[in-house]
Structure 1
Amino acid sequence: MRTYLDFEKPIAELDNKLADMRRLAEESTIDVSAATAALESGIAKLRQEIFDNLTRWQRVQLSRHPDRPYTYEYIQLMCDEFIELHGDRQVRDDPAMIGGFANLNGQGIMIIGQQKGRNTKQRQHRNFGMPNPEGYRKALRLMKLAEKFNKPIITLIDTPGAFPGLEAEERGQGEAIARNLKEMFMLKVPVICIVIGEGASGGALGIAIGDRVMMLENTWYSVISPENCSTILWRSWDYKEQAADAMKLTARDMKANKLIDEIVPEPLGGAHLDHVGMAAILKGVILDHLGQLSQLSPEERINQRIDKFCDMGVVVE
């Protein structure tokens, strides 16, 4: 059964009416095709109006939609083959970070991303998409492997943040993320990073240093979540909507501030409504940018990558 967010309730009511009409048509000989078509048109128009005027907080809600495709779904839908690789060769395998070699339209790539779960058991297994240090060390190991075999790297970012537990700090969470930042700047192969859901803090940034950094239309990217920002500033989660507005954390905000290179459009209503369509759009964008990046030498890519991030946040008074 489809899950509707609060601001989608008007759409839910019309969808229920449409389902009732279709049921009536199946159970009787009454012709309701004209009424059905009119209602479908009305739903499409209403959906367009709602999604043309989403607030920042509503986009945050969409980025967390339980039906939204996660990293593994994108891999299955975009790639012809995928061989998952496990372990950081130091501590253990981290299920919150997945990655491996894949075949994308005949081209070999390394694809890495955070993975969430669909149900309670899966969420616990995947640690709610929050990697431990070994997750980031595994990601770096796979990136170095891709560099060794001259394969482009694609990272898919969807995390509420790196795991903040005591054991993660004991095993060097900060060092693991910092090392990834340093090493990713110097990778000789093309690197494309895409925020597909939540992009929170260093947990996202740990796999987000690339030649191209992109965001899906209904995603967010920030140093902290709106709820935690509200808790710090107002000692309450009740101001999360105001926090989201103040933080300017959506794809449009990031593009306007030149912190990302491109916004990847989603199907009307959000990626959760059409996994196949969203994967096709994302695959096309990835292949397009891989074609562009393949024309550059490793030295050119590294220099452009460094310049891109050095230009961020510069203030001239």
Structure 2
Amino acid sequence: MADTQRSAYERVQLARSKDRPNIQDYIDHLFTDFFEQRGDRASMDDGSIVGGIAMLGDRPVTVIGHRKGKTLEENVRCNFGMPQPEGYRKAMRLMRQAEKFGRPVITFVDTPGAYPGLEAERHGQGEAIAQSIMLMSSLTVPVITLVTGEGSSGGALAISVANSLWMLENAVYSVLSPEGFAAILWKDGSRAADAAELMKLTAQELAACGVADRVIPEPEHGFTGDCTAFYRDLREQLIEEVELLSSRSGAALSSERYKKFRAIGDCRS
């Protein structure tokens, strides 16, 4: 049962919890025959983005998502889920492949943002994000995005220009973190809780104004116990949504996706 009493910042903290499933958990429980594809075919493989081909029921799909670890060592290896430009170029390579072979694209978003380091900027971080957004806008295959934890900044948007954008009950999706918002607006990052209340970043708020298409209830006990029913229900919903979207023409899918994201700025209190 959804808890409607939590504050926005409490949901931010839950979205960041190390106990939440990461993309490997979703791959293991929702798909079969996953075949990971690495590298951007230009420079390197960025471990903070994972992607490949899998079966969703009896349909092949392309799966792409941010990767976070569950221990400090794992997080260091995948840069705490903050992609370099090479990660987004890997994602684009997989999207183009999906377009070529007519495979639906399913993305999983869980990132505090793209990596802001000097080396990333030198390698074209801003351009890689912009190119990924442009490519996703033009895809003629179905695209479904699940925001499973944090969905912050262009680092999240780069792989979430979708026909259907779903959010887990305690996930958040915003232009920047509450701490960053508070630092900019009030010059005081400690007012993150106040910022979260203003930002309309929760799944419930974003569903109310049409940004999120569906809010996925989380297990009552959280993700520390048996989550079999949660994954089973989510898998069934994904299969149904892929079938629904696949009945539409490629031109319609692309047009609907473009209009959906152009309308996001109309979300007002």
TM-score interval for Structure 1 and Structure 2 normalised by the shorter chain: over 0.9
* Equivalent position of 1:195 in the other structure: 147
> Is structure 2 residue 87 aligned with structure 1 residue 87?
no
In structure 1, how many angstroms separate the alpha carbons of the residues matched to 2:61 and 2:251?
20
Q: Give the structure with higher Rg (CA).
A: 1
Shift in Å at residue 237 of structure 1?
Answer: 2.8
CA contact (8 A) 2:65 2:108 kept: yes
1:241 aligned partner, one-letter code: A
For 2:191, which of 239, 245, 263 is the aligned residue? 239
In structure 2, how many angstroms separate the alpha carbons of the residues matched to 1:315 and 1:248?
9
Report which structure shows greater RCO (CA 8 Å, sep ≥6).
Answer: 2
In structure 2, how many angstroms separate the alpha carbons of the residues matched to 1:290 and 1:86?
25
TM-score, structure 2 length as denominator? 0.95
State how 1:57-68 maps to structure 2 within 5 Å: 57-68=9-20
The runs of 5 or more residues in structure 1 that have no matched partner are 1-47
1:163 aligned partner, one-letter code: Y
More helix by share: 1
In structure 1, how many angstroms separate the alpha carbons of the residues matched to 2:204 and 2:245?
24
* Equivalent position of 1:137 in the other structure: 89
**Cα separation, partners in 2 of 1:315 and 1:87, compared to 1, 3 Å:** closer
For 1:252, which of 198, 204, 220 is the aligned residue? 204
1:127 aligned partner, one-letter code: N
**Cα separation, partners in 2 of 1:123 and 1:88, compared to 1, 3 Å:** same
Identity between Structure 1 and Structure 2 (%): 43
Shift in Å at residue 279 of structure 1?
Answer: 2.1
Q: Give SS of 2:109's match.
A: strand
2:214 aligned partner, one-letter code: E
> Is structure 2 residue 84 aligned with structure 1 residue 126?
no
In structure 2, how many angstroms separate the alpha carbons of the residues matched to 1:169 and 1:100?
26
* Equivalent position of 1:16 in the other structure: none
1:44-94 CA deviation, whole Å, 9 max, x = no partner?
xxxx79x34111111111111111100111001111210000000111000
* Equivalent position of 2:182 in the other structure: 230
**Cα separation, partners in 2 of 1:282 and 1:272, compared to 1, 3 Å:** farther
State how 1:28-67 maps to structure 2 within 5 Å: 51-67=3-19
The runs of 5 or more residues in structure 2 that have no matched partner are none
Shift in Å at residue 131 of structure 1?
Answer: 0.3
In structure 2, how many angstroms separate the alpha carbons of the residues matched to 1:274 and 1:202?
34
CA contact (8 A) 2:210 2:267 kept: no
1:146-169 CA deviation, whole Å, 9 max, x = no partner?
111111100000000000000000
> Is structure 2 residue 122 aligned with structure 1 residue 170?
yes
In structure 2, how many angstroms separate the alpha carbons of the residues matched to 1:315 and 1:108?
35
* Equivalent position of 2:231 in the other structure: 279
Q: Give SS of 2:140's match.
A: coil
Shift in Å at residue 139 of structure 1?
Answer: 0.2
In structure 1, how many angstroms separate the alpha carbons of the residues matched to 2:224 and 2:214?
20
- Note the aligned Cα RMSD (angstroms): 1.6
* Equivalent position of 1:75 in the other structure: 27
**Cα separation, partners in 2 of 1:94 and 1:182, compared to 1, 3 Å:** same
**Cα separation, partners in 2 of 1:188 and 1:113, compared to 1, 3 Å:** same
* Equivalent position of 1:264 in the other structure: 216
1:88-135 CA deviation, whole Å, 9 max, x = no partner?
011100000000000111211000000001111111000000000000
**Cα separation, partners in 2 of 1:271 and 1:257, compared to 1, 3 Å:** farther
In structure 2, how many angstroms separate the alpha carbons of the residues matched to 1:152 and 1:315?
28
> Is structure 2 residue 176 aligned with structure 1 residue 214?
no
1:180-211 CA deviation, whole Å, 9 max, x = no partner?
11111111111101100000000000000011
Shift in Å at residue 293 of structure 1?
Answer: 0.5
In structure 2, how many angstroms separate the alpha carbons of the residues matched to 1:52 and 1:224?
23
The alignment covers a number of residue pairs equal to 268
2:211 aligned partner, one-letter code: L
